[in-house]
Structure 1
Amino acid sequence: ALDLADCLTYPPTCILKVVQSLHQFSLYASIFPPRKLLPSSSPSRFSLQTSLEEKIMLWVASIRSNLRPSILGFHCCWYSASAAAVQAERTIKEGPRRDWTRQEIKSVYDSPILDLLFHGAQVHRHTHNFREVQQCTLLSIKTGGCSEDCSYCPQSSRYGTGVKAQRLMNKDSVIEAAKKAKEAGSTRFCMGAAWRDTVGRKTNFNQILDYVKEIREMGMEVCCTLGMLEKQQALELKKAGLTAYNHNLDTSREYYPNIITTRSYDERLQTLEFVREAGINVCCGGIIGLGETADDRVGLLHTLATLPTHPESVPINALVAVKGTPLEDQKPVEIWEMIRMIATARIVMPSAMVRLSAGRVRFSMPEQALCFLAGANSIFTGEKLLTTPNNDYDADQLMFNVLGLIPKPPNLADDVDAETSEAAASASA
């Protein structure tokens, strides 16, 4: 323990040397005086920008100005000098960065889990209202029959999962589902179609544009995940009022060929580029539990964190192993793996919405609470997540009440002038 009762006797520089010597043992000391000891001219709290030496000077000045020669009532808080601690402090001081090295992210990811959880929470509270959680609903508007070979997906036509191919849902059914989602508290409505891309699907694509317009008029954020896009299609979606486009990278570039062979990693990145250029928010994350290593998870986060602009939304999915898919025998993801991914994502991409996505139904309310503490601030709610089970509205309402969570209102501030979007779409045609 560091006894500071002799602060009146020893000069501040001596105290500084003592505290700095603790770093040799990989420990940080953070010492906060009671507010009643602070002179009126001193700040009521120290910011992270205040150097250790400046803090000690303030403490000693406070003590001397209050003439307290005896035990001072200081308490000492100790933090391990982990990468999570160091990088979280840097993130809070500097804001979002896009120059992360893979080793830096690995060091954060490998930090002791409680330390990582704590510092993820610090960044989260600095950047967001930590009680706010956005509720989103994801509807499969075109199910099954996909030509892709994504090893985790029950909608691939290559696997015998019992999912039957269906046509695009009609407008009335989609709008009714959106209304139900809004009434239940969702502020974002996401539509997914089991397609490789939208090329040659002009009729269906135009129908979806109509769905987007009407749902946006309901005062909801609207997201789509329709496979690969061309630049013109991204512009048309923006003109229709699309808030965000989801196109996950799934895993690291290195492990990706083990999961998907029908679509390249660079093709996914190209779609993200078209979405960004069109002025649509990017929703991009991945799945853990595919058989990947910790280094692959770090690789995924590194790719996302070094994009020219961080994704506005980062979904963290836990594999739902479906019988009939190549990954049907994968063991379930543990909650600590989710927490490690969420907290690392929060530290390296502080402004993003980190979405607790597929696989959440397996986790108890206390386990989900840890995810929210670590930095998650968005969920998918509703009985199904495309074709897999999910937490229903009533269960999530109960969780919000018990944990004291606040529904996050929709963010419609990203609207651009319709005339500008139309001109951009016409110029690109």
Structure 2
Amino acid sequence: MKVNPAYNTKESLLELYNKPLLELVFEAATVHRQFHNPREVQMSSLLSIKTGGCPEDCGYCPQAARYHTDVEAHKLMTVESVIEQAKNAQANGSSRLCMGAAWREVRDNKDFDNVIEMVAAVNDLGMEVCATLGMMNENQAHRLKNAGLFAYNHNLDSSKEFYGDVISTREYEDRLNTIGNAKKAGLTVCSGGIIGMGEAIEDRVGLLMSYMEMDTPPESIPINALVAVEGTPLEDQKPIEQWEMIRMVATTRVAFPEAVVRLSAGRTKMTMEGQALCFMAGAGSIFAGDKLLTTPNPEFNEDKEMFAILGLMPKEAFADGEQPVSKPDPIIEARKEKEAQRAKELAEAKIASAGFAPRKVTVS
């Protein structure tokens, strides 16, 4: 992925961000049309496969166990339930499913084995599969890749300088390391941030500079507006104006011409006109469905109506890359073999306890 060399310093990015809005949108729209089909917008769905109970203290997150919010903790969904939700999202036009688990980090246990099965099953449906599971090591990233994972989401949230004002239980470097592990495994990276947390404009630009400084910037960059949730430390933050979202989307598009800029959380506070300007300025993806993990989002029918009015088309899966080919996972295969052997032993024990013996057949 290439960056725009004209804006590879913090000073030049600040100048870009602060341009008169319509000039900025025009420049972004011009860049967008050079690298993307301006009528195509990918519809993605975000599914919370494990909700609540997270031990971290991210100030914006209602899933942190230490905060008193309306979010109820739920254990990991079953593989069958995830497949059902994925089919429903696909039927409503989504070509990408992102599965989110409220974990601090991935652990090598049965839950992760189940996630591996989920990834393989959704990939088999022909959808792009994205996961956001917290920190992970390189081996775990390879397991996800082999199962057919297309992308790994791990947001930096804000600039390195502002990050500590919002989160103390995970270092900025930890997030960079996880992104690095995803890249080493050959996964595409989805990483972006949240605006409206009380940060300065310099922090918004600082977030983009963190990606500028990477050898390979993320293939997709989600831009979120804070959804202030009662019970979290940021509950009293004043909602940002939609013009700030438009400006951030446009700046990201110009700085990273080839990346997919994703218009993410906060769309419920935007008018259709505001969203239209975001699409013009380079947003190439939205999350569809009535929830983003635990926060409200426009419903499928609303988005379909908006697409019809604006003349937009849902983007097909894997338009920018080939579908991963899933490989048998040795841990899953070993577990299945063990379960099959156990089932056989139980069946034989049941037959023996009933007083039956296997019939012997002699060949003369």
Fold shared by both chains (TM-score > 0.5): yes
How far the C-alpha of 1:166 sits from its partner, in A, is 1.2
Letter in 1 for 2:104: R
Q: Which residue of 2 aligns with 1:208?
A: 115
Letter in 2 for 1:219: G
1:378 maps to which of 279, 282, 285: 285
Q: Which residue of 2 aligns with 1:75?
A: none
1:366 maps to which of 260, 268, 273: 273
Gap change, CA 1:243 and 1:289, over 3 Å in 2: same
1:171 maps to which of 70, 74, 79: 79
Q: Distance in 2 between matches of 1:420 and 1:209?
A: 10
Moved more, 103-112 or 143-152: 103-112
Q: Distance in 1 between matches of 2:3 and 2:255?
A: 9
Indicate conservation of the 8 Å contact 1:251/1:297, yes or no.
yes
Q: Which residue of 2 aligns with 1:152?
A: 60
Q: Distance in 2 between matches of 1:421 and 1:346?
A: 38
Deviations 1:135-194 (Å, cap 9, x if unpaired)?
Answer: 000000000000000000000001000212210011111111000000000000010000
Letter in 1 for 2:278: C
* RMSD across aligned positions (CA): 1.9
Q: Does 1:129 align with 2:46?
A: no
Indicate conservation of the 8 Å contact 2:69/2:232, yes or no.
yes
Indicate conservation of the 8 Å contact 2:3/2:212, yes or no.
no
Letter in 2 for 1:283: C
Q: Which residue of 2 aligns with 1:336?
A: 243
1:218-233 equivalence runs, <5 A: 218-233=125-140
Deviations 1:300-350 (Å, cap 9, x if unpaired)?
Answer: 011112211121110000000000000000011111100111011000101
Indicate conservation of the 8 Å contact 1:149/1:158, yes or no.
yes
Letter in 1 for 2:76: L
Gap change, CA 1:243 and 1:97, over 3 Å in 2: farther
Letter in 1 for 2:129: V
Identity %: 54
TM-score, normalised to structure 2, is 0.87
Q: Which residue of 2 aligns with 1:350?
A: 257
Gap change, CA 1:97 and 1:251, over 3 Å in 2: same
Q: Distance in 2 between matches of 1:265 and 1:288?
A: 17
Q: Distance in 2 between matches of 1:215 and 1:107?
A: 43
1:277 maps to which of 184, 190, 194: 184
Q: Distance in 1 between matches of 2:210 and 2:55?
A: 26
Indicate conservation of the 8 Å contact 2:7/2:13, yes or no.
no
How far the C-alpha of 1:98 sits from its partner, in A, is 10
Q: Distance in 1 between matches of 2:327 and 2:227?
A: 43
2:221 maps to which of 302, 314, 320: 314
How far the C-alpha of 1:208 sits from its partner, in A, is 0.5
TM-score, normalised to structure 1, is 0.74
Q: Structure with the greater relative contact order (CA < 8 A, sep ≥ 6): 1 or 2?
A: 2
Deviations 1:360-395 (Å, cap 9, x if unpaired)?
Answer: 111111110011011101000001000000011000
Deviations 1:21-58 (Å, cap 9, x if unpaired)?
Answer: xxxxxxxxxxxxxxxxxxxxxxxxxxxxxxxxxxxxxx
Q: How many residues align?
A: 329
Indicate conservation of the 8 Å contact 1:96/1:351, yes or no.
no
1:243-322 equivalence runs, <5 A: 243-322=150-229
Q: Which residue of 2 aligns with 1:391?
A: 298
Q: Distance in 1 between matches of 2:329 and 2:40?
A: 31
How far the C-alpha of 1:95 sits from its partner, in A, is 6.6
Deviations 1:274-309 (Å, cap 9, x if unpaired)?
Answer: 001100000000000000000000100111122111
Q: Which residue of 1 aligns with 2:359?
A: none
Gap change, CA 1:421 and 1:294, over 3 Å in 2: farther
Q: Does 1:103 align with 2:11?
A: yes
Letter in 2 for 1:385: L
Q: Does 1:112 align with 2:112?
A: no
Moved more, 178-187 or 110-119: 110-119
Letter in 1 for 2:251: T
Moved more, 401-410 or 104-113: 104-113
User: What are structure 1's unaligned runs of at least 5 residues?
Assistant: 1-93, 423-429
User: What are structure 2's unaligned runs of at least 5 residues?
Assistant: 331-364
Letter in 1 for 2:184: E
Q: Distance in 2 between matches of 1:273 and 1:306?
A: 13
